[in-house]
Amino acid sequence: MKIILVGGGKTLYFLCRNFSSKGYKVVIINREHNECEQLAKKTSAMVICGDGSDVEILEEAGARSADALLAITPFDQDNLIICQLAALKFGISRVIALANDPDNADVFEKLGVSAFSMTQIVSSLIEQRASLEQIVNLFPVGEGKVNVTEVVLDAYSPLVGKQLKDVSLPENSLIAVVIRNNQPIVPRGANDLQIADKIVLITLPENHGKVLKAVTGEIDKKNPG
């Protein structure tokens, strides 16, 4: 797998390290001469100094043989055009743009470019994680259209003591796995739920809050009653 990263900063550096450790071939395109030198020293990636929206620079980076391109510069207009050039001119099948302005994530999708917004991801993580302390892990999948959440059941949970077939969760949600004493159980209707069970929930962003309430109970533990 060959992947081109366009941009700079710590995010790019750690992405590069991450991809390299997985054995991917990484090529970095960065405009700043000094940063390029640093990146060339610190990483095993091939580093090209230049403008990622320049066709010749992309060509030099081997865009024709790349499997994926990620554009994470601080400028949305650059990220969009880099991805469009990569897809339309070089036929790279997987191109992803960072939308610095969260509104642009939708705009880019409408223009045919996959996009993600740090602001959206981080704020939804913080909101959802901070709201309930029983939630130990949450990550969005499917471009943020699906949430996967781990919830630890405590005494307040209305689910405790019930069999799965008697649990009614809001529509479009699912208890995918129950983890008890570190043993995963793929649940069937006759499984019961106990205190300290960790359940893995599949929800959609629009019903996430409702499902969590149904799972954890609505009582605010800080002000019980």
Partner 1 sequence: MNNRYIVIVGCGRLGSHLANKLSKCGNSVVIIDRDESNFGKLSPEFSGFRIEGDATQIDVLQSAKLGQADILIATAHEDNTNMMIAQVAKKVFGVTKVIARVFDPKHEEVLLKLDIEVICPTAAAAEMFLTAANRQS
By CB under 8 A, name the one of 80, 92, 138, 215 that touches partner 1: 80
Residue 74, interface with partner 1 (CB under 8 A)? no
Residue 127, interface with partner 1 (CB under 8 A)? no
51/78 Cα distance (integer angstroms): 9
By CB under 8 A, name the one of 18, 37, 91, 111 that touches partner 1: 111
Closest separation between CB of residue 78 and partner 1, Å? 5
Beta-carbon neighbour count of residue 80 at 10 Å?
Answer: 22
Contacts of 27 (CB under 8 A, 6+ apart): 2, 3, 4, 5, 45, 46, 47, 48, 61, 62, 66
Sheet holding 146-152, edge to edge: 135-141, 146-152, 198-203, 174-180, 183-185
Query: Closest CB to partner 1 among 89 and 213?
Result: 89
Binding window for partner 1 (CB under 8 A); candidates: 96-104, 126-134, 188-196, 214-222: 96-104
Query: Closest CB to partner 1 among 67 and 106?
Result: 106
Residues in region 47-66 near partner 1 by CB under 8 A: 53-56
By CB under 8 A, name the one of 10, 110, 188, 222 that touches partner 1: 110
**Beta strand extents in the chain (DSSP E only):** 2-6, 25-30, 46-49, 68-71, 94-98, 114-116, 135-141, 146-152, 174-180, 183-185, 198-203
Residue 30, interface with partner 1 (CB under 8 A)? no
- Six-digit token pair at 25? 């071939």
Do the Cβ atoms of 48 and 61 come closer than 8 Å?
A: yes
Residue 93, interface with partner 1 (CB under 8 A)? no
Residue 75, interface with partner 1 (CB under 8 A)? yes
Residue 81, interface with partner 1 (CB under 8 A)? yes
Write out the residues near partner 1 by the rule CB under 8 A.
53-56, 75-78, 80-81, 84-85, 88-89, 101, 103-104, 107, 110-111
